[in-house]
Amino acid sequence: MSPTDQNSQASDLPTSPQTPTDADTSADKNSTTHFGYKTIEKDDKISMVAGVFHSVAKQYDVMNDLMSFGIHRLWKRFTIDASGVRPGNKVLDLAGGTGDLTAKFSKLVGREGKVVLADINSSMLNVGRDKLRDKGLVQNIEYVQANAEYLPFEENTFDIVTIAFGLRNVTDKDKALRSIYSVLKPGGRLLVLEFSKPEHELLNKAYDFYSFNILPKMGELVAKDGESYQYLAESIRMHPDQETLKGMMENAGFEQTSFKNLTGGVVALHKGYKF
Amino acid sequence: MKPSNNKAVTQSSNQLSTQLSTKLSDSLLLPQAATATLELIINKALSLNNKSLSFTAVAQKTLTLELAELPFSLCFTVDNASSPIGVIVRSHAECSDCTIKTSISTLKKLKAKQSLTQLIKQDELDVSGDIKIAQQFANIAQSLEIDWQTELAKHLGDVPTHKLLQFGNKITKSLAATGKQLEADIGEYLVHEKRLVVTSSQINAFNQQTKDVANEVDVLSVRIDKLVADLAGKQ
């Protein structure tokens, strides 16, 4: 997954023994925010997350496969299946990173449709663009470097917006959700694929152990950057759980919101409509 | 319990088992794993195809197959956005140009060229949408021409491939001959020998009858002895 504050995807499987404290929660309301377990100034987060994803961009896909044992491909397939995409649709793949979802959407919307791959991080965007071009996907894809909180598109533009493993890196998630709501067409849907809270305590413990003991070492070994993967693990733990995120989507104006836990809640797919 | 109650219980237990199997397969992402595998196989087959195929009529069209044996659908979409053209397989599509509801056994009948109309009349096949799309998908599948020998030779070399295929042909022929012989033997057994084979119930009946005859003979023997004794007494 890619780094930058808001729209980058990060693929890690973490959780830590720690949980957000009251101080952490109140931090969101002020000028501070989280960077993993650290509380930092909001203005600093974009550059700090960007640093993470600039560092891991080239090894991003390999690390995703390694860290998730390839299951991230199935989570993304599930997202595509739930998207209801059809030929001619306009799709925004936000925090699209290396373009896994964009590749599939591009094939499904056809020549009459369009897919915009947006990411705040230029390194991730470059890797994604090269990868998709190498696959021969050039006809209906546009690339935009954009911040999810301030999407540079007209209102009511897209039929579908997806953000996979990216929302947790966004500084102001509520603002990003409102921005997404604005660019969706009436009847359009948002799909948020993100790490979440495992349903069973045993799985939660195993997940914690994996995230904080194995994941950073794997990052050190493969991407030569253990710190970035430590951050990714922490950021997943700090991300709102299933019900909280559902509530945030409703606050942003989405209707008929729902979520589906995948792999025991390690990942959840949230869905909401704009009517 | 009344028959209507029994029916309701059966229905609700069927619904429950369907819900459970769907939840389990969803949780394990089985539909996604199955469609990913299928997609890989189809696109590999398309890439190995030597014959020129036209996808124009099915470009961006979706064919959905709902098999009774599977808790999820198989949706095939031909994409025209990439090069080379490929097929995307999904487990769910909200928009389908043709949907076929059937079972694997009916699909086999279709392969055996059994009449489509007949199967629809027998409620074994339910087609909704544009049936031409299904026919075009089927035509493409039947038109695929893959030169396995050439493909294998790329990896193994010409001579080993030739030898391997020769060996494969021998095995295939031998298996086919064995199969035919087995089929003939089984047929002969079923048609002729099975009728002559004594069943266990027949053996039991025979044993019982034998015992009955033995008992009757014993009784008769006792009576004869008694009569002989009586006659001897009178003389």
Task: Summarize pLDDT for A31-74 with one digit per residue, the tens.
Answer: 777 666 667 677 666 776 676 666 666 677 777 788 888 899 99
Note the Cα A21 to chain centre separation in Å: 23
Judged by CB atoms closer than 8 Å, whether chains meet at B29 and A75 is answered as yes
User: What pLDDT score does A57 carry?
Assistant: 67
Judged by CB atoms closer than 8 Å, whether chains meet at B35 and A108 is answered as no
Candidates A69, A80, A131, A259: best to mutate against B (most CBs of B within 10 A) is A80
Q: Which domains does chain A have, with CATH numbers?
A: 22-273 (3.40.50.150)
| Cβ–Cβ under 8 Å, residues A78 and A146 | no
Measured CB to CB, residues of chain B less than 8 Å from chain A are 26-27, 29, 31-33, 35-36, 59-60, 77, 79-84, 86, 88, 90-95
CA gap A165, A96 in Å, rounded: 9
pLDDT at position B19 over 90: no
Q: Which residues of B touch A82 (CB under 8 A)?
A: 92
The phi and psi torsions of A182 (rounded to 5 degrees) equal -65, -40
In this structure, what token pair is assigned to residue B182? 């087995």
Task: Name the pLDDT band for A23 (thresholds 50, 70, 90).
Answer: very low
User: What pLDDT score does A33 carry?
Assistant: 72
Between helix B158-188 and helix B148-156 the angle, nearest 10°, is 130
pLDDT at position A108 over 80: yes
Task: Name the pLDDT band for A27 (thresholds 50, 70, 90).
Answer: very low
Task: Summarize pLDDT for B118-165 with one digit per residue, the tens.
Answer: 777 777 788 888 888 888 888 888 787 777 778 788 888 888 888 888
- Name the maximum alpha-carbon separation found in chain B: 121
In this structure, what token pair is assigned to residue B126? 């339910």
Judged by CB atoms closer than 8 Å, whether chains meet at A110 and B80 is answered as yes
Note the Cα A253 to chain centre separation in Å: 20
Count of CB pairs separated by less than 8 Å, A with B:
67
**B64 beta partners:** B75, B99
Candidates B79, B85, B94, B96: best to mutate against A (most CBs of A within 10 A) is B79
Judged by CB atoms closer than 8 Å, whether chains meet at B82 and A264 is answered as no
CA gap A90, A106 in Å, rounded: 10
| Cβ–Cβ under 8 Å, residues A267 and A75 | yes
pLDDT at position A28 over 60: no
**A141 beta partners:** A115
User: What pLDDT score does A9 carry?
Assistant: 37
User: What pLDDT score does A30 carry?
Assistant: 60
CB proximity list for A185: less than 8 A, separation 6 or greater: A90, A156, A157, A158, A159, A274
Judged by CB atoms closer than 8 Å, whether chains meet at B79 and A110 is answered as yes
CA gap A255, A270 in Å, rounded: 12
Task: Name the pLDDT band for A19 (thresholds 50, 70, 90).
Answer: very low
User: What pLDDT score does A7 carry?
Assistant: 37
Could you tell me which of A99, A84, A83, A92 has the C-alpha nearest to residue A153? Answer: A92
Is the Cβ of A65 closer than 8 Å to some Cβ of chain B? no
CA distances (Å), origin A69, targets A10, A62, A66, A205, B90? 15, 10, 5, 18, 21
DSSP E strands: which ranges in chain B?
62-67, 74-79, 86-90, 98-102, 126-129
> Quick one: which H or E segment has residue A161?
strand A158-164
DSSP state of A252: T
**B79 class by beta-carbon count within 10 Å (0-12 exposed, 13-18 middle, 19+ buried):** buried
CA gap A246, B71 in Å, rounded: 28
Measure in Å the smallest separation between the Cα of A86 and chain B Cα atoms.
Answer: 7
Q: Which residues of B touch A140 (CB under 8 A)?
A: 81
Q: What angle do CA A128, A132, A136 make, to 5 degrees?
A: 165
In this structure, what token pair is assigned to residue B70? 């599977």
The phi and psi torsions of A90 (rounded to 5 degrees) equal -105, 125
- The one-letter code for the residue type at A134 is D
Judged by CB atoms closer than 8 Å, whether chains meet at B29 and A110 is answered as no
User: What pLDDT score does B222 carry?
Assistant: 95
Q: Which residues of A touch B95 (CB under 8 A)?
A: 84, 86-87
CA gap A235, A258 in Å, rounded: 23
In this prediction, residues B25-38 reach a mean pLDDT of: 85
Task: Summarize pLDDT for B165-184 with one digit per residue, the tens.
Answer: 888 889 999 999 999 999 89
| Cβ–Cβ under 8 Å, residues A216 and A235 | no
pLDDT at position B67 over 60: yes
- The one-letter code for the residue type at A260 is K
Cis preceding-peptide flag for B84 (omega within 30 of 0):
yes
**B187 class by beta-carbon count within 10 Å (0-12 exposed, 13-18 middle, 19+ buried):** exposed
Measure in Å the smallest separation between the Cα of B76 and chain A Cα atoms.
Answer: 11
